[in-house]
Amino acid sequence: MTTIGWVRHGITDWNVVRRAQGQTDVALNDTGRAQARALAERFKHEVWDWVYTSDLSRAKETAETIAQALNIPIYVDESLRERAFGKVEGTTEDDRIRMWGEDWQEIELGIESDESMIRRGTDFVQDICSQYPGKRVLVVSHGAFISTLLPILVPNMHEREHLHNTSVTLVRQVEETWVCDLYNCRRHLEAVNL
């Protein structure tokens, strides 16, 4: 029974102002680094075998903080990147409305499809299950990527609550299906008032 702990990266300055990041490489801010340290402290009381991460620095730095604290291997995988948001990257909602109008979501702006993200996500999960059967693997990735993939993995999962920075969602494989044991948990942040 493989367990995957899905982790959204720590917060960035672009998250704070709600600027679309996509695959633009935006670093963690000081709060994001503190969030990552708090998460690493939480994981010290749990057993994890490996950490996988997106290659984007906000996820990679979060994962490195965890891997170092737990003294476990870290692997970088580009397939864990955030959705590519095309021309939308770097813009706020106000920017998008000003440039493309209220119906900007109906315009072709080079945004990666759900199908593309799901394909790379399910391929990754299949690889993890075949390589690490029965192991516990942390995966540090991005909000849109994780929230698009989870309902595909977990039957009848209708959670749509916004995934918070450094939140933890635990899923475990039971035969050929996945069960969600914990969703969007951020209790580690309460201890440090973040």
Strands (E), 38-163: 50-53, 74-76, 136-141
Out of 61, 64, 82, 112, the active site residue is 82
Residue 11 marked in a binding site: yes
Residue 58 marked in a binding site: yes
Out of 9, 89, 142, 188, the active site residue is 9
Residue 178 marked in a binding site: no
Residue 10 marked in a binding site: yes
Task: Give catalytic status of residue 9 as yes or no.
Answer: yes
- Please tell me what DSSP assigns to residue 4: E
Residue 15 marked in a binding site: yes
Distance CA 16, CA 60 (A): 19
Residue 162 marked in a binding site: no
Tell me the residue type at 161. E
Closest CA to 153 of 177, 185, 129: 177
Cα–Cα distances (Å) from 29 to 12, 17, 56, 66, 137, in that order, read 5, 12, 14, 16, 26
Task: Give catalytic status of residue 82 as yes or no.
Answer: yes
What string of DSSP letters covers 149-177?
HHHHHSTT----PPPPTT-EEEEEEETTE
Residue 5 marked in a binding site: no
Binding-site annotation: residue ranges: 8-15, 58
The annotation places the binding site for substrate at 8-15, 58
Positions marked active-site: 9, 82
